[in-house]
Structure 1
């Protein structure tokens, strides 16, 4: 669980920092943005979530990292799935949707019930 929290944490920090460091390259990939303040808001939130996941160590923190990770991935996946077909956001966000599905699958995998005697 810790490795998954840290992996998603890195992904979220990188995703969040990118538009803060270079809006030009972010827009080159994901298309021009009318509301840059909104991009910056989401970027700050993703960076914060990612940092919290990276700092998770003990079982209680890891459970919180799991809830935050699942919630973040589900939210971003939903936005991608709703707004790409409506052409409100670029089709490039479909690659993000695939990543978010991957995080959800990862959390489902590490959260599955374990049978006795299994390492």
Structure 2
């Protein structure tokens, strides 16, 4: 079993770092990932990824917070994985994105290994 709170914090930090990288150093990001034509779109995606990561870092340790973290974690990992697996074969993005695909699969596996989270609490 994987501790969901520790996973939320680790995945959140990963997403924050990945999101701010192109914002802080577009040159090094493009050196690894390849040149981009729409810098504004890259910066928008980076900002959204960092925001999702920040939300995961700030999640409360209770059942509701952990379910929220899982939704964010699985949602971002699936989205990035699909992009990697669709656009690498089409030649639109570099094969280095397959490293990211493997990482996203690892995050999804970790979220799966957290098991069932406690049932939702009903408020009267």
- Please confirm whether the aligned pair reaches a TM-score higher than 0.5, indicating the same fold: yes
Gap regions ≥5 residues in structure 2: 118-124
Q: Secondary structure at the match of 2:90?
A: coil
TM-score, L = length of structure 1: 0.92
**Structure 1 runs (4+) greater than 6 angstroms displaced:** none
Q: Secondary structure at the match of 1:69?
A: helix
Gap regions ≥5 residues in structure 1: 114-119
The question of 1:70 aligning with 2:74 is answered yes
Deviations along 1:80-113, one digit per CA (max 9) or x if unpaired, are: 0000000001111001001100000000000258
Q: Which residue of 1 aligns with 2:57?
A: 54
Shift of 1:59: 1.9
Compared with structure 1, are the counterparts of its residues 112 and 59 closer, same or farther at alpha carbon in structure 2 (3 Å cutoff)? closer
RMSD of aligned C-alpha atoms?
1.1
Q: Which residue of 2 aligns with 1:33?
A: 36
Q: Secondary structure at the match of 2:114?
A: helix
TM-score, L = length of structure 2: 0.88
